[in-house]
Amino acid sequence: MKRARLPIVVIGSGVAGMATALAAAPAPVRLLCRAADGSGSASALAQGGIAAAVGAGDSPAAHVHDTLEAGSRHNDAAAVRWLCEAAPATVDWLAAQGAAFDRTDAGALQLGREGGHGAHRIVHAGGDATGAALVRALRAKVARAEHVQWRGGVDVDALLLRAGGVVGVRTRDAQGRHEVIEAAAVVLATGGLGALYAHTSNPPGADGAGLALALAAGAQARDLEFVQFHPTALALDGHSLPLLTEALRGAGARLIDGEGRALMAGRHPLGDLAPRDVVARRVWSVQQAGGSAWLDATPIEGDWQRRFPTVLASCLAHGLDPRRERLPITPVAHFHMGGVAADLDGQTSIPGLCAVGEVACNGVHGANRLASNSLLEAVAGGRRLGARLATAAPLPASGGHHWIERGAALPPENLHALRELLWQAAGPVREAAALRDAWRLCAAAAATGWQMRLAKELLRAMRLRRRSLGAHWREDRGCPAGSQAT
């Protein structure tokens, strides 16, 4: 009797995972996620839109230029060209899936502008609620897709390996029950690791669990030192802070200090719309010197409920009205440019194990991601990976197998301490002695939890890159910024 085809196991409920699952048709897919209802992905929180050169006078070549400049030309140029050329078709595909993009009265796409972009090329859906709109549209499609079986409320804590390749996963539910799922291929679409920092724009689930699992299995990593900090989150007490989208500055909001002076004056030719790493370091330096930074969005005209409903609701919930008063801001850990090394087809260094979206690193973002290229890469990459897996042959079924486990998590009090450690030592500005001391602490405590082992690898990469590049900024004592560290 012919054996039924093994499913493709996709881990993650964000747009990368759902795009992969949809594109893999008609192959069977098991879509797994931690939240019982599929919520909690960073995709749903994304206020930026999708960058695509679809406006008059714009071009994929110009989009490529801006992506390379933002990434400090550490990018893989071929990957950048592919992504920027795929952007218009990606927007069209999303519209076909039911994403209702914002349009003019004449029916044309409304195009915004964000930091690092030389043109208006940001496509939004529901103003600053683009991520949530895309998640809703794709989730509805997945729910109707006969080839996809969705399972929420489970964490994948181990990989099954046979003859050096990944052939399955082990899940654990809230009651501690395990299930083994054999797979034709396993796709990590688990997002980033911003939640390992004391202050982040990410949801709690963006804690690097997928990356930690891949590293435990021996997968190669790439560019782990490059963590992007968004410069404008609402400065509040807490861990996950509300983001104030860059599109506000594109619409006329201004960055100012406590005295009302322009924060970015003389700092960069693009001023308030400089790349995120530049603005984040400026805000950080002002705070470290005892000052304060603010976003004045009162010059913005128009309907806030239509253009910036997410920002408006977040501010009003904390007793602030962005239409009438300036907003206190702070940088937050936002996006990981590094991750599991993968090619443009999502293949990692381990047969049978794929990675897509923020958990993966194919070089497209370089040392600093250009605004609104993340949702673009997640969807375009997911479509490309899913189409490949739809016709890919599974690994040979013979041979012995063994399990690779991620391991136990840190206790809550230890996790809190680790977040504070990374915030201080591995934040927007880094220093050799602080990185060394933090790495030693994590190395000594590596057995206490998988988050500690992952942090050790991050800090190791940050120590090894001794010169500033993009979002990785070194200001070592006795050395000027960007020079050789001691």
Q: Decide if pLDDT at 214 tops 50.
A: yes
Q: Is 43 helix (H, G, I), strand (E, B) or coil?
A: helix
The tokens for 141 are 């499609």
Query: What band does 240 get if pLDDT is binned at 50, 70 and 90?
Result: confident
CA distances (Å), origin 30, targets 13, 136, 155, 168, 329? 11, 19, 13, 11, 41
The whole-angstrom separation of Cα 421 and Cα 353 is 31
CA distances (Å), origin 130, targets 127, 308, 441? 6, 10, 40
Residue position matching structure tokens 């895309």: 134
Q: In the CATH scheme, what is the code of domain 229-333?
A: 3.90.700.10
Mean predicted lDDT score pLDDT of the chain? 92
Determine contact, residues 154/30, Cβ cutoff 8 Å. no
**CB under 8 Å to 55, separation ≥6 — which residues?**
109, 111, 119, 120, 121
Q: Render pLDDT for 280-328 as a digit per residue (tens, 0 to 9).
A: 999 999 999 999 999 999 999 888 988 898 899 999 999 999 999 999 9
What is the predicted pLDDT for the residue at 343?
98
Q: Render pLDDT for 365-413 as a digit per residue (tens, 0 to 9).
A: 999 999 899 999 999 999 999 999 999 887 776 678 899 999 999 999 9
Q: Name the pTM for this structure.
A: 0.92
What is the predicted pLDDT for the residue at 1?
43
The whole-angstrom separation of Cα 466 and Cα 247 is 33
The whole-angstrom separation of Cα 464 and Cα 462 is 6
Q: Does domain 8-225+338-403 have CATH number 3.90.1150.10?
A: no
Query: What band does 15 get if pLDDT is binned at 50, 70 and 90?
Result: very high
Q: Where are the domains of the chain?
A: 8-225+338-403, 229-333, 408-486
Between 185 and 246, name the one with better pLDDT.
Answer: 185
Alpha carbon 31 to its chain's center:
19
What is the predicted pLDDT for the residue at 481?
47
Q: Render pLDDT for 226-235 as a digit per residue (tens, 0 to 9).
A: 999 999 999 9
Determine contact, residues 341/211, Cβ cutoff 8 Å. no
Alpha carbon 284 to its chain's center:
21
Helix axes 130-144 and 374-391, enclosed angle (nearest 10)? 20
Query: What band does 40 get if pLDDT is binned at 50, 70 and 90?
Result: low
Of 243, 237, 187, 333, the closest CA to residue 44 belongs to: 243
Q: Render pLDDT for 53-84 as a digit per residue (tens, 0 to 9).
A: 999 999 999 999 999 999 999 999 999 999 99
Q: In the CATH scheme, what is the code of domain 408-486?
A: 1.20.58.100
What is the predicted pLDDT for the residue at 2?
53
| Sheet of 122-123, strand order | 50-51, 122-123, 111-112
Q: Given the residues 249, 276, 369, 388, select the one marked as catalytic.
A: 276
317: burial class by Cβ within 10 Å (0-12, 13-18, 19+)?
Answer: exposed
The whole-angstrom separation of Cα 248 and Cα 255 is 10
Whether 276 sits among the annotated catalytic residues: the reply is yes
Phi, psi of 214 (to 5 degrees): -65, -40
Question: What one-letter code names the amino acid at 339?
Answer: G
Residue position matching structure tokens 């486990």: 405
CB neighbourhood size of 120 (10 A)? 15
The whole-angstrom separation of Cα 261 and Cα 411 is 44
